[in-house]
Protein backbone atom coordinates (compact mmCIF):
# COMPACT_ATOMS: atom_id res chain seq x y z
CA UNK A 1 0.00 0.00 0.00
CA UNK A 2 1.54 3.29 -1.11
CA UNK A 3 1.35 5.84 1.72
CA UNK A 4 0.71 9.38 0.37
CA UNK A 5 1.56 11.27 3.58
CA UNK A 6 4.26 11.19 6.26
CA UNK A 7 2.94 12.09 9.74
CA UNK A 8 4.89 14.80 11.55
CA UNK A 9 6.49 14.39 14.96
CA UNK A 10 5.81 10.62 15.08
CA UNK A 11 8.38 9.88 17.82
CA UNK A 12 7.12 12.77 19.93
CA UNK A 13 3.48 11.66 19.57
CA UNK A 14 4.33 8.06 20.43
CA UNK A 15 6.30 9.16 23.49
CA UNK A 16 3.54 11.48 24.71
CA UNK A 17 0.96 8.68 24.62
CA UNK A 18 3.27 5.78 25.53
CA UNK A 19 1.57 5.11 28.89
CA UNK A 20 -1.88 4.59 27.41
CA UNK A 21 -2.74 0.97 28.16
CA UNK A 22 -6.44 0.93 27.41
CA UNK A 23 -9.46 3.15 26.96
CA UNK A 24 -10.32 5.24 23.92
CA UNK A 25 -8.05 7.41 21.82
CA UNK A 26 -9.56 10.13 19.61
CA UNK A 27 -7.72 11.11 16.44
CA UNK A 28 -9.56 14.29 15.46
CA UNK A 29 -7.77 14.65 12.12
CA UNK A 30 -7.21 11.10 10.94
CA UNK A 31 -5.83 12.05 7.54
CA UNK A 32 -4.00 9.05 6.08
CA UNK A 33 -3.80 7.18 9.36
CA UNK A 34 -0.10 7.40 10.21
CA UNK A 35 -0.38 8.43 13.86
CA UNK A 36 -3.37 6.18 14.50
CA UNK A 37 -1.67 3.12 13.03
CA UNK A 38 1.41 3.68 15.21
CA UNK A 39 -0.65 4.01 18.39
CA UNK A 40 -2.85 0.99 17.63
CA UNK A 41 0.27 -1.12 17.13
CA UNK A 42 1.83 0.17 20.36
CA UNK A 43 -1.28 -0.37 22.50
CA UNK A 44 -3.17 -3.62 21.76
CA UNK A 45 -5.95 -2.78 24.27
CA UNK A 46 -6.54 0.73 22.95
CA UNK A 47 -9.67 1.57 20.95
CA UNK A 48 -9.66 4.29 18.33
CA UNK A 49 -12.29 6.82 17.37
CA UNK A 50 -11.20 8.96 14.42
CA UNK A 51 -12.69 11.53 12.12
CA UNK A 52 -11.79 13.53 9.06
CA UNK A 53 -13.72 15.90 6.84
CA UNK A 54 -11.96 14.56 3.74
CA UNK A 55 -13.81 11.51 2.39
CA UNK A 56 -10.83 10.49 0.27
CA UNK A 57 -8.60 10.36 3.35
CA UNK A 58 -11.23 8.39 5.30
CA UNK A 59 -11.53 5.79 2.55
CA UNK A 60 -7.76 5.35 2.42
CA UNK A 61 -7.40 5.06 6.22
CA UNK A 62 -10.25 2.58 6.52
CA UNK A 63 -8.29 0.26 4.24
CA UNK A 64 -4.96 1.02 5.94
CA UNK A 65 -6.33 0.24 9.41
CA UNK A 66 -8.33 -2.81 8.32
CA UNK A 67 -6.36 -5.19 10.61
CA UNK A 68 -7.63 -3.18 13.59
CA UNK A 69 -11.26 -2.99 12.44
CA UNK A 70 -12.64 -4.44 15.69
CA UNK A 71 -10.98 -1.59 17.61
CA UNK A 72 -11.79 1.41 15.44
CA UNK A 73 -14.75 3.59 14.58
CA UNK A 74 -14.47 6.23 11.86
CA UNK A 75 -16.60 9.33 11.29
CA UNK A 76 -16.88 11.72 8.36
CA UNK A 77 -16.83 14.88 10.44
CA UNK A 78 -15.04 18.14 11.07
CA UNK A 79 -13.02 17.83 14.29
CA UNK A 80 -15.00 20.64 15.93
CA UNK A 81 -18.14 18.51 15.64
CA UNK A 82 -16.89 15.09 16.76
CA UNK A 83 -17.17 15.63 20.52
CA UNK A 84 -20.99 15.68 20.40
CA UNK A 85 -21.05 12.39 18.50
CA UNK A 86 -19.09 10.18 20.89
CA UNK A 87 -19.02 9.01 24.52
CA UNK A 88 -16.28 10.98 26.29
CA UNK A 89 -16.23 9.06 29.58
CA UNK A 90 -13.47 6.59 28.65
CA UNK A 91 -11.43 9.03 26.56
CA UNK A 92 -7.74 8.91 27.54
CA UNK A 93 -6.00 10.59 24.63
CA UNK A 94 -6.82 13.16 21.94
CA UNK A 95 -4.70 14.17 18.97
CA UNK A 96 -5.44 16.97 16.50
CA UNK A 97 -2.92 17.48 13.69
CA UNK A 98 -4.40 20.50 11.97
CA UNK A 99 -2.05 20.80 9.03
CA UNK A 100 -2.59 20.06 5.36
CA UNK A 101 -1.65 16.58 4.16
CA UNK A 102 0.92 15.93 1.45
CA UNK A 103 -1.82 14.52 -0.76
CA UNK A 104 -3.71 17.82 -0.58
CA UNK A 105 -0.59 19.62 -1.76
CA UNK A 106 0.48 17.07 -4.34
CA UNK A 107 -2.87 16.23 -5.93
CA UNK A 108 -3.41 18.78 -8.66
CA UNK A 109 -7.20 18.80 -8.63
CA UNK A 110 -7.35 19.71 -4.94
CA UNK A 111 -5.96 23.15 -5.85
CA UNK A 112 -3.72 23.73 -2.80
CA UNK A 113 -0.34 23.92 -4.52
CA UNK A 114 1.13 27.07 -6.06
CA UNK A 115 1.47 25.17 -9.35
CA UNK A 116 -1.98 23.60 -9.41
CA UNK A 117 -4.19 23.94 -12.48
CA UNK A 118 -7.19 24.24 -10.17
CA UNK A 119 -8.22 26.74 -7.49
CA UNK A 120 -10.14 24.87 -4.80
CA UNK A 121 -8.48 24.35 -1.36
CA UNK A 122 -11.53 22.75 0.24
CA UNK A 123 -10.62 20.04 2.74
CA UNK A 124 -14.23 18.88 2.58
CA UNK A 125 -15.21 18.86 -1.07
CA UNK A 126 -18.89 18.97 -0.09
CA UNK A 127 -18.66 22.46 1.36
CA UNK A 128 -19.85 25.25 -0.96
CA UNK A 129 -17.07 27.85 -0.55
CA UNK A 130 -13.86 27.32 -2.54
CA UNK A 131 -10.75 29.39 -3.15
CA UNK A 132 -12.11 30.13 -6.62
CA UNK A 133 -15.18 31.77 -5.04
CA UNK A 134 -13.09 33.83 -2.61
CA UNK A 135 -10.63 35.09 -5.21
CA UNK A 136 -13.25 35.92 -7.83
CA UNK A 137 -16.06 37.25 -5.63
CA UNK A 138 -14.69 38.81 -2.44
CA UNK A 139 -14.32 42.57 -2.27
CA UNK A 140 -10.91 44.22 -2.24
CA UNK A 141 -11.31 45.01 1.47
CA UNK A 142 -12.15 41.42 2.40
CA UNK A 143 -9.26 40.04 0.37
CA UNK A 144 -6.85 42.54 1.92
CA UNK A 145 -7.99 41.60 5.43
CA UNK A 146 -7.50 37.90 4.73
CA UNK A 147 -3.92 38.50 3.58
CA UNK A 148 -3.11 40.90 6.42
CA UNK A 149 -4.71 38.93 9.26
CA UNK A 150 -4.31 35.28 8.26
CA UNK A 151 -1.18 35.70 6.13
CA UNK A 152 0.39 38.41 8.29
CA UNK A 153 1.26 40.24 5.07
CA UNK A 154 1.69 43.97 5.50
CA UNK A 155 1.12 44.54 1.78
CA UNK A 156 -2.31 42.90 1.82
CA UNK A 157 -3.96 45.92 0.17
CA UNK A 158 -1.47 45.81 -2.69
CA UNK A 159 -2.01 42.07 -3.25
CA UNK A 160 -5.79 42.50 -3.17
CA UNK A 161 -5.55 45.30 -5.74
CA UNK A 162 -3.54 43.04 -8.06
CA UNK A 163 -6.26 40.39 -7.85
CA UNK A 164 -9.06 42.90 -8.49
CA UNK A 165 -7.30 44.19 -11.60
CA UNK A 166 -6.57 40.71 -12.94
CA UNK A 167 -10.08 39.36 -12.45
CA UNK A 168 -11.55 42.45 -14.16
CA UNK A 169 -9.98 41.10 -17.34
CA UNK A 170 -11.05 37.47 -16.78
CA UNK A 171 -11.80 35.01 -14.00
CA UNK A 172 -8.80 33.65 -12.13
CA UNK A 173 -9.23 29.93 -12.68
CA UNK A 174 -6.10 28.24 -11.31
CA UNK A 175 -3.70 28.40 -8.38
CA UNK A 176 -0.87 28.67 -10.89
CA UNK A 177 -2.44 31.79 -12.36
CA UNK A 178 -3.04 33.28 -8.91
CA UNK A 179 0.58 32.65 -7.96
CA UNK A 180 1.76 34.54 -11.04
CA UNK A 181 -0.50 37.47 -10.14
CA UNK A 182 0.69 37.62 -6.53
CA UNK A 183 4.36 37.07 -7.32
CA UNK A 184 6.34 34.24 -5.76
CA UNK A 185 9.10 36.48 -4.39
CA UNK A 186 10.73 35.81 -1.03
CA UNK A 187 9.96 38.44 1.58
CA UNK A 188 12.76 40.47 3.12
CA UNK A 189 14.06 38.94 6.37
CA UNK A 190 11.76 35.91 5.96
CA UNK A 191 12.40 32.42 4.61
CA UNK A 192 9.09 32.20 2.80
CA UNK A 193 7.51 33.82 -0.24
CA UNK A 194 4.50 36.11 -0.15
CA UNK A 195 2.63 33.72 -2.45
CA UNK A 196 2.96 30.86 0.06
CA UNK A 197 1.72 33.10 2.89
CA UNK A 198 -1.15 34.36 0.74
CA UNK A 199 -2.12 30.78 -0.15
CA UNK A 200 -2.04 29.79 3.53
CA UNK A 201 -4.29 32.74 4.33
CA UNK A 202 -6.68 31.79 1.55
CA UNK A 203 -6.81 28.18 2.76
CA UNK A 204 -7.59 29.35 6.31
CA UNK A 205 -10.47 31.47 4.99
CA UNK A 206 -11.90 28.73 2.77
CA UNK A 207 -11.91 26.11 5.53
CA UNK A 208 -12.63 28.55 8.41
CA UNK A 209 -9.68 26.96 10.18
CA UNK A 210 -9.28 29.42 13.05
CA UNK A 211 -13.01 29.42 13.81
CA UNK A 212 -13.07 25.61 13.79
CA UNK A 213 -10.07 25.44 16.13
CA UNK A 214 -11.63 27.97 18.54
CA UNK A 215 -14.91 26.02 18.59
CA UNK A 216 -13.07 22.75 19.21
CA UNK A 217 -11.18 24.23 22.17
CA UNK A 218 -14.34 25.80 23.59
CA UNK A 219 -16.07 22.43 23.50
CA UNK A 220 -13.10 20.69 25.12
CA UNK A 221 -13.21 23.26 27.92
CA UNK A 222 -16.79 22.26 28.71
CA UNK A 223 -16.36 18.51 28.16
CA UNK A 224 -15.36 17.64 31.77
CA UNK A 225 -12.58 15.33 30.59
CA UNK A 226 -10.77 13.28 33.24
CA UNK A 227 -7.33 11.64 33.06
CA UNK A 228 -6.94 12.56 29.40
CA UNK A 229 -3.96 13.84 27.39
CA UNK A 230 -4.60 16.32 24.59
CA UNK A 231 -2.01 17.05 21.89
CA UNK A 232 -2.44 19.63 19.13
CA UNK A 233 -0.03 20.04 16.23
CA UNK A 234 -0.13 23.41 14.48
CA UNK A 235 1.64 24.70 11.38
CA UNK A 236 0.67 28.35 11.56
CA UNK A 237 1.58 30.96 14.19
CA UNK A 238 -2.01 32.15 14.60
CA UNK A 239 -3.24 28.63 15.33
CA UNK A 240 -0.39 27.96 17.74
CA UNK A 241 -1.11 31.22 19.57
CA UNK A 242 -4.76 30.23 20.05
CA UNK A 243 -3.78 26.83 21.47
CA UNK A 244 -1.13 28.36 23.73
CA UNK A 245 -3.60 30.87 25.20
CA UNK A 246 -6.27 28.23 25.86
CA UNK A 247 -3.77 25.94 27.59
CA UNK A 248 -2.59 28.83 29.81
CA UNK A 249 -6.21 29.61 30.69
CA UNK A 250 -6.98 25.97 31.51
CA UNK A 251 -3.88 25.64 33.72
CA UNK A 252 -4.73 28.72 35.79
CA UNK A 253 -5.90 27.72 39.26
CA UNK A 254 -6.81 31.18 40.57
CA UNK A 255 -9.47 33.16 38.71
CA UNK A 256 -9.60 36.13 41.05
CA UNK A 257 -9.25 39.65 39.70
CA UNK A 258 -5.57 40.37 39.16
CA UNK A 259 -5.95 43.46 41.34
CA UNK A 260 -7.04 41.39 44.34
CA UNK A 261 -4.63 41.41 47.27
CA UNK A 262 -5.22 37.74 48.03
CA UNK A 263 -6.94 34.75 46.47
CA UNK A 264 -10.59 34.27 47.42
CA UNK A 265 -11.66 31.73 44.80
CA UNK A 266 -9.98 28.68 46.34
CA UNK A 267 -7.32 28.39 43.61
CA UNK A 268 -8.78 25.10 42.38
CA UNK A 269 -10.18 26.11 39.01
CA UNK A 270 -7.52 24.64 36.75
CA UNK A 271 -8.63 21.88 34.40
CA UNK A 272 -5.19 20.27 34.47
CA UNK A 273 -1.61 21.03 33.55
CA UNK A 274 0.45 22.02 30.52
CA UNK A 275 2.80 19.15 29.67
CA UNK A 276 5.37 21.11 27.67
CA UNK A 277 6.07 24.77 28.37
CA UNK A 278 7.69 25.14 24.95
CA UNK A 279 6.17 23.49 21.89
CA UNK A 280 7.80 20.32 20.58
CA UNK A 281 9.28 20.79 17.12
CA UNK A 282 10.75 18.40 14.53
CA UNK A 283 14.38 17.36 14.76
CA UNK A 284 16.77 18.21 11.95
CA UNK A 285 16.77 14.51 11.10
CA UNK A 286 13.00 14.55 10.60
CA UNK A 287 13.12 17.76 8.56
CA UNK A 288 15.67 16.18 6.21
CA UNK A 289 13.31 13.26 5.58
CA UNK A 290 10.15 15.36 5.56
CA UNK A 291 10.86 19.06 4.80
CA UNK A 292 7.16 19.89 5.12
CA UNK A 293 7.38 19.18 8.85
CA UNK A 294 9.70 22.13 9.47
CA UNK A 295 7.08 24.55 10.82
CA UNK A 296 5.16 22.01 12.96
CA UNK A 297 4.67 22.75 16.67
CA UNK A 298 3.02 20.41 19.16
CA UNK A 299 1.59 21.48 22.51
CA UNK A 300 0.14 19.05 25.06
CA UNK A 301 -2.22 19.37 28.01
CA UNK A 302 -3.30 16.90 30.69
CA UNK A 303 -6.91 17.03 31.92
CA UNK A 304 -6.69 15.91 35.54
Residue among 127, 107, 122, 119 nearest 171 (CA): 119
Q: Known binder of ligand: residue 133?
A: no
104-150 per-position pLDDT tens digit = 787 899 999 999 999 999 999 899 999 999 999 999 999 999 999 99
In a domain, 124, yes or no: yes
Q: What is the mean pLDDT of residues 11-27?
A: 96
- The reply to whether 1 falls in a domain is no
- Residues 24 and 87: their CA atoms lie apart, in Å, by 9
**Per-residue pLDDT at 216 exceeds 80:** yes
The number of domains in the chain is 2
E strand residue ranges, 139-249: 228-234
Residue closest to 283 by CA, chosen among 5, 4, 3, 11: 11
182/216 same-domain check:
no
Do 29 and 117 belong together in one domain?
no
Residue 4 within a domain: no
Annotated binding-site residue? 5: no
| Whole-number percent of the chain with pLDDT over 90 | 84
**According to the annotation, is 15 in a ligand binding site?**
no
185 pLDDT more than 80:
no
- Asked whether residue 217 falls in the same domain as residue 229, the answer is yes
246 and 187, same structural domain?
Answer: no
Report the sign of the C-alpha dihedral through residues 240, 243, 249, 250, in that order: negative
pLDDT tens for 50-75 read: 999 999 899 999 999 999 999 999 99
5 lies in a domain?
Answer: no
108 annotated ligand binder? no
Q: Are residues 78 and 132 in the same domain?
A: no
Give φ, ψ of 43 to 5 degrees: -125, 90
pLDDT score at 190? 67
Specify whether 232 is located in the same domain as 85.
Answer: yes
- Residues ≥6 apart with Cβ < 8 Å to 87: 24
Q: What pLDDT, in 10s, does the model give residues 231-268?
A: 999 999 999 999 999 999 999 998 888 788 788 888 88
Report the C-alpha gap between 271 and 226 in whole angstroms: 9
Task: Answer yes or no: is 79 within a domain.
Answer: yes
Residue 82 lies in a domain: yes
CATH of the domain at 78: 3.40.50.150
pTM score, whole prediction: 0.93
Q: Is residue 242, in this structure, part of any structural domain at all?
A: yes
Q: Is residue 229 part of a domain?
A: yes
> Within 13 Å, how many C-alpha atoms sit on residue 68's CB side?
24
User: Would the annotation count 52 as a binding residue?
Assistant: yes
Domain residue limits at 65 = 10-97+210-303
> Is 97 annotated in some ligand binding site?
yes
Residue 2 has pLDDT above 80, yes or no: no
Instruction: Give every strand in the sheet of 228-234, ordered side by side.
Output: 72-76, 46-52, 23-27, 91-97, 228-234, 297-303, 272-274
C-alpha neighbours within 13 Å on the C-beta side of residue 161: 4
Angle between helices 194-207 and 175-182 (to 10 degrees): 130
> DSSP readout, 242-257?
HHHHHHHHHH----S-
Co-location of 72 and 39 in the same domain: yes
Are residue 223 and residue 196 in the same domain, yes or no?
no
Instruction: Flag whether 156 is marked binding.
Output: no
> Collapsing DSSP states into helix, strand and coil, what is residue 93?
strand
Amino acid sequence: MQIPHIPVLPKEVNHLFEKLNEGVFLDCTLGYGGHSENLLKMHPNLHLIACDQDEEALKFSKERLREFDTRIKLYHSNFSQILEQIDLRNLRGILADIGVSSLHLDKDERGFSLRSNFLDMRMDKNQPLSAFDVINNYSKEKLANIFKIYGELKNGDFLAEKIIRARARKQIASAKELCEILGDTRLKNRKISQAILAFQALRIEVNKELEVLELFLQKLEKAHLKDCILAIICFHSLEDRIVKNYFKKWAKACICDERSLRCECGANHNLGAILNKKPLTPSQEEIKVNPRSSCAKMRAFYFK
